């Protein structure tokens, strides 16, 4: 897009010195990327290693006896070998966990970001709730989850079930509500930051022209903070996708999510790193895809008002 | 002013964005101390040109010279140009004082000197009570003054303004326009002013560059642009209500020449030689401004002759002191400007005459003016 | 100058404010609609559990003692116990240290990367995805990966031995300071991308015109960065730091998996301590009191940190 190209050129001109041209940037970025990748490579390596090599001494990058069993186990393909068989019976195939996560995470993310965005707009432009309310929402993030888990459990199982006849334990809706509720503070504060960075007079002009506030919100402000919106969405999605503690406490069969599933690959003898690594890798794929797709939207083509070229 | 080389020279300037051509083949000389307007509709390339002069865009081809020196690769920081943005682009987290002082601080001027000059400018623009106010809390007119003030403080070679009055409501706009003009004359600084409002350009500019679709249409003084538009576009763009255009056929009969449209004929014998020299083909567009159309009676009083055109009044729109009357000529509607006292009413039929001294002829193919 | 244009600017400002005020009043319904879902959700989610926790904290109860409704109310005794608990203070201090170091590192590296990535270069999209990757792994996976990496026989020691000789290997999990470092390292590795993401999109959302204005006013890159870009970025920076610090404060999974608080209790974070109290020692009331205290502490600090972002009447 025209504006984005201009923007890229202009800010690039500011930030880059004559020396720090694209070539140097590439090299630096590559170096950082490789450093970041090192642990990932190790996970991958583990996922293809049989049990005796997980803690082998000396450690090798490539498996001496590469196997696909770790992955096969996840999907209950074929006949797993040796000690792994014990574990298989205690954990379900990942299909259900994946399905659940694919339902719960996106729904709660969208809900969270939407609710957060609206509230952020209200706080930023109209100071709704003053200084207290937005701050109050942060308390959802301040409690150590361990402390919260027990009372919440109590709330869900006992109070809701007995007094309101609603059973949210081990349900999709139950998790969705919790995930939305616990991430909405993020959405609010992150979007607030981005909305604050947009000066108001474009919106004011539209309002004075007679546009309804809802229209202004969605047709003017939203596009301008598109980058922040996508960053927030990605982040909240990651939070929801990888959330562990609450899922652990609040699901048992029906609504288990992928992180919970990962934790179940263990026996009395020890942790099963192979399948855990394999599932970890697979579990990260949806997020990676999402991250890659939104990249183009992370930079908003922002100019005050309209650009006439 | 001595006939030295121009302050700014643009030669063959061209700018492309991802294959889209924004500016094409632009040649322009800007004299020191003049107030020149870039005028044109959205997307005509006027802002792009301005930005290239400022150094915010690099030309794809062509050259820009400042005082004889080629500055294509010179970054904006070193060009000593002042730029006032359409939305002012103030540092809105900073105070008015900081905004004004920015350019001076960059140049490492002493604190006392900065203070003196900032306050002086603030006084001139009546910003004193606002010096400690954050830029984000200012009214639009105050913002504009701050934007102007902070640019002037850096004493630029030339002041570039990109539709700075766009966001000001109409009443205030005229007043600020006048202020700008007066300021420019006072300071004697060169100003390049971009706008899409032809009224604005006509009032402000010493010269106007009319642009359309990336190309220069005409560069001339406001008078000339009004009286002698060189292209169809310029003719139709300037003037409110805009010029009326009628397509005609050129016909010669004996030693007389005519423009024909249906059963209407306008004699153009005196211009015959020019027309035949310049025009290929025989399609000519006849242009006449609404203010130069008169009812037959009035025209005869003034001694004007010419084809009497039978019309029907289609619509009467009152303005302040005049009225715009839509007239149906066959299947076409033309507009006529009459005094507010006129009693013309819808449905009325009358005859009008185009003031022959004010008719503009254009070659339909090239869209260039003939006379 | 003509006085028509320049009636005292305050009048202009006042006009603007009252016009806005009128508009705001007309739109109270709009505002209510905007925040209603948020409010409903939070109240639904928060009230009862909070009340439960508060109540728990003022009674003396452990599950083995039977019915909680019959437990005696001891008011602030639990709180007093917490405040005089040396383990508590140690865990708190440790947690603060982890947060400070880790978040600072994440910020600096994240900012540097965000700036680096502002220009265009080869394979930018792919490299961005790579750098964002650590965030996308579940904690548990990051935890055991780093555990395996830092095992005595693991790759890190292996590389150290190769590079610096046989004596260079260290027992990462046997020394408190080293264990501490591995945890910080794991956290930075996992969450630096977050900072990068926020700062990168923050930079991208900044309007370009003030930057261009600064250029025409003669400012060089550094000056623009310091005086134009950074101040505009300030709200986003503060929020990023606050959010990340809040999360880091609750650090649990990483420590649980990598060191289990060890060696001894030298890497026990406050979350871990509360967890132990709740689930292993079953001292629920005590844990509740501690949680409330932590909440208060965090609230106060966050409040101070957010102050620059608050709205003031002028």
pLDDT tens digit sequence for C91-143: 899 999 999 999 999 999 999 998 888 777 777 778 888 888 888 887 778 88
**Quick check: C268 pLDDT over 90?**
no
Which strands, in side-by-side order, build the sheet including B293-295? B293-295, B349-354, B308-318, B322-329, B332-339
Which residues, in sequence order, are bridge partners of residue B238? Answer: none
Q: How far apart are CA A278 and CA A282, in angstroms?
A: 6
Q: A100 and A248 share a domain?
A: yes
Q: B224 and B283 share a domain?
A: no
Q: A116 and A208 share a domain?
A: yes
What confidence category does residue C310 fall into, taking pLDDT thresholds of 50, 70 and 90? low
Tokens of B75: 């970054």
At residue B195, the pLDDT reads: 93
Spell out the residues 6+ positions from residue B331 whose beta carbon is closer than 8 angstroms to its own: none
Q: Tell me if B145 is assigned to some domain.
A: yes
Q: B212 and B337 share a domain?
A: no
| C201 reaches A (C-beta below 8 A) | yes
What are the distances in angstroms from CA B110 to CA B105, B107, C184? 8, 9, 46
Q: B256 and B347 share a domain?
A: yes
Domain boundary (B211, B237, B263) is at B237
Chain C: list its partners (3+ Cβ pairs within 8 Å).
Answer: A, B
Q: B166 and B231 share a domain?
A: yes
pLDDT tens digit sequence for C173-192: 888 888 888 899 999 999 99
Q: B233 and B249 share a domain?
A: no
Q: How far apart are CA A46 and CA A278, in angstroms?
A: 8
At residue A299, the pLDDT reads: 59
Query: In this structure, what CATH number is given to the domain that contains residue A204?
Result: 1.10.3720.10
Query: In this structure, what CATH number is given to the domain that contains residue C282?
Result: 1.10.3720.10
**Quick check: A162 pLDDT over 60?**
yes
Q: What's the complex ipTM?
A: 0.79
Question: Mind telling me how many Å the CA of A201 is from chain C's nearest CA?
Answer: 11
Report CB contact under 8 Å: A141, C271.
no
Across A59-84, average pLDDT: 67
At residue C313, the pLDDT reads: 42
As for how many domains chain B has, the answer is 2
How does the average pLDDT of chain A come out, rounded?
74
What are the distances in angstroms from CA B300 to CA A191, B290, B313, B344, C49? 71, 18, 20, 18, 94
Q: Tell me if B369 is assigned to some domain.
A: no
What confidence category does residue C241 fall into, taking pLDDT thresholds of 50, 70 and 90? very high
Q: B251 and B280 share a domain?
A: yes
Q: Tell me if A188 is assigned to some domain.
A: yes
Contact residues, A window 279-308, toward B, CB-based 8 Å cutoff? 304-305, 307-308
Residue of B nearest to C16 (CA): B139
pLDDT tens digit sequence for C27-49: 677 788 888 888 888 877 777 77
Chain B: list its partners (3+ Cβ pairs within 8 Å).
Answer: A, C
Q: A215 and A234 share a domain?
A: yes
Q: Tell me if A227 is assigned to some domain.
A: yes
**Quick check: A28 pLDDT over 50?**
yes
In whole angstroms, what separates CA B13 from the centre of its chain? 20
pLDDT tens digit sequence for C66-84: 666 777 778 788 888 888 8
| C20 reaches A (C-beta below 8 A) | yes
Tokens of A270: 């020890």
Report CB contact under 8 Å: C5, B175.
yes
What confidence category does residue A3 fall into, taking pLDDT thresholds of 50, 70 and 90? very low
pLDDT tens digit sequence for A217-263: 888 888 888 878 888 898 898 888 888 877 877 877 777 888 877 77
**Quick check: C263 pLDDT over 60?**
yes
Q: Tell me if B105 is assigned to some domain.
A: no
Within 8 A of C98 by CB-CB distance, chain A residues are none
Query: In this structure, what CATH number is given to the domain that contains residue B64?
Result: 3.40.50.300
Query: In this structure, what CATH number is given to the domain that contains residue B323?
Result: 2.40.50.140
Question: Mind telling me how many Å the CA of B180 is from chain A's nearest CA?
Answer: 23
Instruction: Mark the ranges of chain B whose per-residue pLDDT is less than 70.
Output: 1-4, 371
Within 8 A of C5 by CB-CB distance, chain B residues are 141, 172, 175-176, 179
Q: How far apart are CA C223 and CA C211, in angstroms?
A: 10
Q: A228 and A162 share a domain?
A: yes
pLDDT tens digit sequence for C193-217: 989 988 888 887 778 888 899 999 9
Q: A136 and A79 share a domain?
A: no
b/e per residue C96-131 (b: at least 16 CB within 10 A): bebbebbbebbbebbbbbbbbbbbebeebeebbbbb
Percent of chain A having pLDDT more than 90? 5
**Quick check: A308 pLDDT over 60?**
no
Across C295-313, average pLDDT: 77
Question: Mind telling me how many Å the CA of A79 is from chain C's nearest CA?
Answer: 25
Across A189-195, average pLDDT: 85
Q: B192 and B331 share a domain?
A: no
Q: Tell me if A307 is assigned to some domain.
A: no
Domain boundary (A88, A109, A135) is at A88
At residue C184, the pLDDT reads: 92
Q: Tell me if B151 is assigned to some domain.
A: yes
At residue A303, the pLDDT reads: 31
Q: Three-state SS for B339? A: strand
Q: A170 and A58 share a domain?
A: no
**Quick check: A150 pLDDT over 80?**
no
Q: Which domain holds residue C262?
A: 77-309
| B86 reaches A (C-beta below 8 A) | yes
Q: B150 and B63 share a domain?
A: yes
Peptide bond into A153 cis (omega under 30): no
Q: B158 and B261 share a domain?
A: no
Domain boundary (B191, B209, B237) is at B237
Q: A210 and A228 share a domain?
A: yes
Q: A137 and A207 share a domain?
A: yes
Q: Tell me if A7 is assigned to some domain.
A: yes
Q: How far apart are CA A218 and CA A214, in angstroms?
A: 6
Q: How far apart are CA A248 and CA A266, in angstroms?
A: 15
Q: Is C236 exposed, middle or buried (0-12, 13-18, 19+ CB in 10 A)?
A: buried
As for how many domains chain C has, the answer is 1
CA-wise closest residue to C190 among B176, A235, B298: A235
Contact residues, C window 242-301, toward A, CB-based 8 Å cutoff? 242-243, 246-247, 249-250, 252-253, 270-271, 274-275, 278-279, 284, 287-288, 290-291, 294-295, 298-299
Interface B:C, Cβ pairs < 8 A:
106
At residue A298, the pLDDT reads: 66
Q: Tell me if B2 is assigned to some domain.
A: no
Q: A99 and A78 share a domain?
A: no
- Of residues A79 and B371, the one with the higher pLDDT is B371
Q: Which domain holds residue B253?
A: 244-302+310-363
Among A156-160, C106-110, C209-213, C255-259, which is the least confidently predicted range?
A156-160
| C54 reaches A (C-beta below 8 A) | no
Q: Tell me if A253 is assigned to some domain.
A: yes
**Quick check: A5 pLDDT over 70?**
no
Q: Which domain holds residue A35?
A: 2-88
Q: Tell me if C105 is assigned to some domain.
A: yes
Q: A238 and A196 share a domain?
A: yes
Q: How far apart are CA C121 and CA C252, in angstroms?
A: 38
Best mutation site among C137, C209, C223, C278 for testing chain A: the one with the most A CBs within 10 Å?
C137
As for how many domains chain A has, the answer is 2
Of A148, A259, A273, the CB nearest to C144: A273
Question: Mind telling me how many Å the CA of B21 is from chain A's nearest CA?
Answer: 10
At residue C67, the pLDDT reads: 65
How does the average pLDDT of chain C come out, rounded?
80
One DSSP character per residue, C29-63 reads HHHHHHHHHHHHHHHHHHHHHHHHHHHHHHB---G
Report CB contact under 8 Å: A304, B85.
yes
Q: B27 phi and psi, to 5 degrees?
A: -120, 130
Q: B150 and B281 share a domain?
A: no
Q: Tell me if B142 is assigned to some domain.
A: yes
At residue B138, the pLDDT reads: 85
Q: How far apart are CA C71 and CA A95, in angstroms?
A: 45
Q: A77 and A136 share a domain?
A: no
CA-wise closest residue to C121 among C110, C109, C113, C133: C113
Of C148, C204, C208, the CB nearest to A55: C148
At residue C21, the pLDDT reads: 56
Q: Tell me if A302 is assigned to some domain.
A: no
Q: Three-state SS for C292? A: helix
Q: A196 and A55 share a domain?
A: no
Q: B6 phi and psi, to 5 degrees?
A: -65, 160
The residue whose two tokens read 């107030």 is B35
Tokens of C186: 């794991």
At residue A161, the pLDDT reads: 67
């Amino acid at each position: 897009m025209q504006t984005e190209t201009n923007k890229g050129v202009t800010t690039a001109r500011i930030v880059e010195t004559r020396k720090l041209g694209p070539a140097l940037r590439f090299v630096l970025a590559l170096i950082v990327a490789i450093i970041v990748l090192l642990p990932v490579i190790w996970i991958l390596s583990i996922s293809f290693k049989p049990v005796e090599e997980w803690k082998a001494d000396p450690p090798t990058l490539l498996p001496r006896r590469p196997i696909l069993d770790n992955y096969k186990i996840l999907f209950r393909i074929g006949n797993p070998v040796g000690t792994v068989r014990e574990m298989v019976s205690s954990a379900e195939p990942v299909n259900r966990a994946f399905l659940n996560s694919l339902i719960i995470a996106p729904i709660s993310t969208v809900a969270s970001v939407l609710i957060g965005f609206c509230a952020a707009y209200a706080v930023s432009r109209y100071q709704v709730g003053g200084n207290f309310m937005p701050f109050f929402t942060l308390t959802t993030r301040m409690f150590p989850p361990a402390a919260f888990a027990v009372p919440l459990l109590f709330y869900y199982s006992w109070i809701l079930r007995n007094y309101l006849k609603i059973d949210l334990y081990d349900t999709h809706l139950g998790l969705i509500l919790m995930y939305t509720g616990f991430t909405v503070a993020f959405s609010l504060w992150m979007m607030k930051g981005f909305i604050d960075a947009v000066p108001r007079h474009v919106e004011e002009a539209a309002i004075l022209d007679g546009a309804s506030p809802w229209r202004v919100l969605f047709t003017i402000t939203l596009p301008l903070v598109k980058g922040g919106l996508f960053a927030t969405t990605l982040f909240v999605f990651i939070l929801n996708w990888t959330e562990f503690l609450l899922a652990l406490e609040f699901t048992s069969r029906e609504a288990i999510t992928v992180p919970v599933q990962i934790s179940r690959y263990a026996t009395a003898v020890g942790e099963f790193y192979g399948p855990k690594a394999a599932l970890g890798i697979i579990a990260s794929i949806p997020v990676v895809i999402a991250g890659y797709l939104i990249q183009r939207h992370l930079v908003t083509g922002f100019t005050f008002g309209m650009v006439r070229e | 002013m001595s006939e030295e080389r121009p302050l700014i020279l643009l030669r063959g300037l061209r700018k492309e964005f991802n294959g889209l051509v924004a500016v094409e083949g632009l040649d322009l000389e800007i004299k020191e101390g003049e107030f020149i307007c870039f005028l044109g509709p959205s997307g005509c390339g006027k802002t792009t040109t301005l930005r290239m002069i400022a150094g915010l865009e690099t030309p794809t081809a062509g050259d820009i010279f400042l005082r004889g020196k080629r500055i294509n690769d010179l970054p904006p920081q070193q060009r000593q140009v002042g730029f006032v943005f359409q939305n002012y682009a103030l540092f809105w987290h900073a105070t008015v004082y900081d905004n004004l002082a920015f350019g001076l601080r960059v140049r490492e001027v002493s604190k006392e000197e900065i203070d003196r000059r900032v306050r002086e400018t603030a006084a001139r623009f009546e910003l004193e009570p606002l010096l400690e106010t954050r830029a984000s809390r200012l009214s639009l007119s105050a913002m504009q003054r701050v934007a102007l003030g902070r640019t002037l403080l850096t004493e630029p070679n030339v002041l570039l303004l990109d539709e700075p009055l766009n966001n000001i409501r109409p009443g205030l706009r005229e007043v600020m326009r006048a202020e700008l003009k007066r300021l420019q004359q006072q300071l004697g600084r060169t100003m390049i002013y971009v706008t899409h409002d032809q009224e604005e350009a006509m009032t402000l500019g010493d010269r106007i560059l009319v642009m359309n679709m990336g190309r220069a249409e005409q560069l001339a003084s406001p008078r000339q642009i009004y009286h002698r538009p060189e292209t169809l576009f310029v003719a139709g763009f300037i003037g409110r209500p805009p010029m009326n255009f009628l397509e005609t056929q050129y016909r010669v009969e004996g030693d007389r020449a005519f423009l024909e449209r249906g059963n209407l004929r306008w004699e153009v014998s005196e211009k015959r030689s020019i027309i035949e020299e310049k025009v290929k083909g025989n399609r000519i567009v006849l242009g006449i401004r609404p203010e130069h159309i008169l009812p037959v009676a009035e025209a005869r009083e003034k001694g004007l002759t010419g084809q009497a055109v039978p019309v029907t009044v289609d619509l009467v729109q009152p303005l302040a002191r005049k009225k715009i009357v839509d007239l149906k000529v066959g299947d076409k509607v033309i507009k006529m400007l009459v005094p507010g006292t006129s009693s013309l009413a819808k449905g009325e039929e009358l005859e009008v005459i185009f003031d022959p001294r004010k008719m503009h002829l254009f070659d339909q193919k090239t869209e260039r003016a003939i006379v | 100058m003509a006085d028509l244009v320049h009636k005292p600017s305050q009048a202009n400002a006042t006009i603007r404010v009252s016009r806005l005020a009128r508009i705001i009043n007309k739109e109270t319904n709009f505002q209510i609609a905007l925040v209603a879902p948020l409010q409903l959700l939070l109240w639904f989610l928060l009230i009862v559990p909070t009340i439960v926790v508060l109540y728990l904290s003022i009674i003396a109860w452990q599950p083995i003692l039977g019915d909680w409704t019959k437990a005696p109310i001891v008011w602030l005794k639990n709180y007093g116990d917490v405040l005089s608990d040396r383990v508590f203070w140690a865990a708190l201090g440790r947690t603060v240290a982890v947060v400070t170091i880790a978040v600072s590192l994440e910020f600096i590296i994240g900012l540097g990367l965000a700036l680096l990535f502002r220009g265009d270069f080869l394979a930018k999209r792919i490299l961005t995805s790579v750098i964002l990757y650590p965030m996308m792994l579940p904690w548990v996976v990051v935890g055991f990966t780093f555990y395996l990496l830092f095992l005595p026989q693991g790759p890190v020691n292996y590389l150290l031995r190769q590079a610096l000789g046989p004596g260079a290997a260290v027992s990462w999990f046997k020394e408190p300071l080293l264990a501490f470092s591995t945890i910080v390292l794991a956290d930075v590795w996992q969450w630096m991308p977050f900072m990068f993401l926020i700062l990168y999109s923050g930079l991208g959302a900044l309007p370009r015109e003030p930057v261009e204005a600064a250029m025409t006013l003669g400012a060089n890159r550094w000056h623009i960065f310091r005086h134009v870009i950074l101040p505009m970025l300030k709200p986003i920076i503060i929020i990023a730091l606050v959010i990340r610090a809040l999360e880091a404060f609750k650090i649990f999974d990483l420590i649980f998996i990598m060191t289990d608080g060890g060696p001894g209790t030298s890497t026990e974070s406050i979350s871990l301590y509360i967890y132990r109290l709740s689930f292993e020692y079953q001292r629920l009331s005590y844990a509740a009191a501690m949680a409330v205290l932590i909440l208060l502490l965090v609230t106060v600090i966050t409040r101070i940190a957010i102050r620059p972002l608050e709205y003031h009447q002028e």
